[in-house]
């Protein structure tokens, strides 16, 4: 079924697509079923053209697809790319707190012999 590998560019476009709140709302709406551009645009205070552009962004990210229904172009969700994105995140989100604890040791073996621990002199907020 054309299981093309997810590229870096796919992740760029995928995460960029989800970085916009309008597009996240569109995803949420489409998770309840397909909708046309006008239907999707209705709740938003921006123009239909802007929504159309958002849908193009989602489509190029592989998150949605469009079909043809008379004059309308119903949009529906394509969940596979979302799965690939969670798969990416899940590789890195399972980090143990102990890695933070290893901080001093990791830095010590680098170059500096400073055994005395650093005082908590974080930069003063301006």
Partner DNA sequence: TGGTTGATAAACCTTATGGTTGAATAATGG
Partner DNA sequence: CCATTATTCAACCATAAGGTTTATCAACCA
- The partner in contact with residue 32, picked from a copy of itself, DNA, none with C-beta cut-offs of 5 to 8 angstroms by kind, is a copy of itself
For the bound state, the minimum distance from the C-beta of residue 63 to a copy of itself, rounded and expressed in Å, comes to 10
In this chain, which of 26, 55, 63, 64 binds DNA, going by CB under 7 A? Answer: 55
Burial 44-75 (b: 16+ CB within 10 A, else e): eeeeeeebeebbebbbebbbbebeeeeeeebb
Q: How far is the CA of 71 from the CAs of 15, 34, 36, 37, in angstroms?
A: 31, 15, 10, 11
Annotate each residue in 62-101 with x if it binds a copy of itself (CB under 8 A) or - if it does not, as one string.
-----xxxx-x-x-xx-x--xx-xx-xxxxxxxx---xx-
Question: Is there binding between residue 49 and a copy of itself (CB under 8 A)?
Answer: no
3-state secondary structure of 103: helix
Among 2, 7, 98, 112, binds DNA (CB under 7 A): 112
Which among 89, 80, 77, 74 has a CA at the least distance from the CA of 23?
77
For DNA, the binding residues (CB under 7 A) are 16, 19-20, 22, 36-39, 45-50, 52-57, 66, 68, 70-74, 111-114, 118, 121-123, 125-126
């Amino acid at each position: 079924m054309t299981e093309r590998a997810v590229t870096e560019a796919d992740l760029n476009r995928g995460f960029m697509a989800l970085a916009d709140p309008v597009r996240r709302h569109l995803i949420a709406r489409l998770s309840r079923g397909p909708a046309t551009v006008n239907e999707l645009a209705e709740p938003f205070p921006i123009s239909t053209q802007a929504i159309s552009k958002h849908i193009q962004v989602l489509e190029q990210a592989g998150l949605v697809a469009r079909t043809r229904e008379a004059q309308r172009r119903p949009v529906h969700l394509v969940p596979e790319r979302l799965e690939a994105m969670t798969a990416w995140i899940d590789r890195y989100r399972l980090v143990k707190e102990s890695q933070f604890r290893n901080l001093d040791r990791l830095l010590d073996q680098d170059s500096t012999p400073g055994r005395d621990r650093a005082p908590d002199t974080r930069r003063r907020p301006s």
